[in-house]
Amino acid sequence: MNTVQTHSCFHMGTVLSWFATGSLAFFCTMLGLISGRFVEPFGARFKGLGVELPWPTYFLLVTDGWPLRLVFYTLAVFVVAKEFSVGELRRRFVLTARTFFGATVTAALGILLH
């Protein structure tokens, strides 16, 4: 009876881990797709002002936001790859949570730097 419960809990944990991973990969991919849209309006706004921009803002405007997109796409690939490379379930959840935190902070900084 214990082996059935252990197997069932392990299976449910794996399903939840993959669900969290898939949700986060989708979240990161969507952030990568829309990141250019929250860079463009600020670029147009700053062009008319004629002020000197901070270097992170200037860099994002000059590169059309592709470094920000690259960060989000890399996070999406990482979160899926860790499901295959990390064996311990608890560690997978911790890495997923850290990746979510990183994506959220990066998105917030991308918006606040503008």
The DSSP code for 52 is P
pLDDT of 28-87, one tens digit each?
Answer: 898 888 877 777 777 777 777 777 777 777 777 777 778 888 888 998 999 999 888 888
User: How much is the pLDDT for 89?
Assistant: 84
For the chain, counts of helices (H) and of strands (E): 5, 0
Q: At what angle do helices 66-85 and 2-34 cross, to 10 degrees?
A: 170
Count of domains observed in the chain: 1
- Confidence category of residue 5, pLDDT binned at 50, 70, 90: low
Question: Looking at residues 76-104, what average pLDDT do you find?
Answer: 88
Question: Looking at residues 83-107, what average pLDDT do you find?
Answer: 86
Residue 26 pLDDT more than 90? yes
The DSSP code for 54 is P
User: How much is the pLDDT for 10?
Assistant: 60
At a CB cut-off of 8 Å and minimum separation 6, what does 102 contact?
A: 75
- Confidence category of residue 3, pLDDT binned at 50, 70, 90: low
* pTM, 2 dp: 0.72
Establish how many alpha carbons lie within 13 A of residue 98's alpha carbon, considering only the half-sphere containing its beta carbon: 9
Domain limits for position 99: 2-112
